[in-house]
Amino acid sequence: MKYLNQIAIIFGVSFAGEIVYRFLGLPIPASIYGLIIMMILLETKIIKFEQIKDVGSFMLNIMIVTFVPSTVGVMTAVEELKTFLIPILIVLFLVTVIVMVVTGRVSQFVIERRCSKDE
């Protein structure tokens, strides 16, 4: 029963996320509402970590595999892909480097300034 209860909680929260999604009608995926609901339940200790521990860890481990079918879906979008290959390459290499440098430098600046203020 242990695993069944854990599955029920996690899928129940996923369902609750879909309900919120329907009601709010915002362009935010249902899974994000589910995540926020689960976060609230855990922080308020309505659900304890132990109650979802095993299935939760399993889900986190298999997450990336759930993307296999949608990644294979790229075969249906090859023609579309060809039309903006160069912007994609720029986004992949240049933008990733820019984001990393800007994030790192800005947060380092904030952290070091706060530390010097504390002294």
* Interface with another protein in residues 4-23 (CB under 8 A): 10-11, 13-14, 17-18
- Tokens (6 digits) for 9: 């909680």
3-state SS assignment for residue 47? coil
| Pick 5 or 57: Cβ nearer another protein | 57
Out of 1, 4, 46, 63, the only residue in the binding site for another protein (CB under 8 A) is: 63
Residues 25-54 that bind another protein (CB under 8 A): 26-32, 34-39, 42-43, 49, 52
Cα–Cα distance measured from residue 119 to residue 89, given in angstroms and rounded to the nearest whole number: 45
Handedness of CA 41, 46, 50, 52 (dihedral sign): negative
Closest approach of Cβ 1 to another protein, in Å?
19
Closest approach of Cβ 97 to another protein, in Å?
6
Amino acid of residue 29: P
CA angle 8, 12, 17 (to 5 degrees): 155
The label of the residue with tokens 């399993």 reads 58
Closest approach of Cβ 62 to another protein, in Å?
7
If one asks whether residue 105 binds another protein (CB under 8 A), the answer comes out as yes
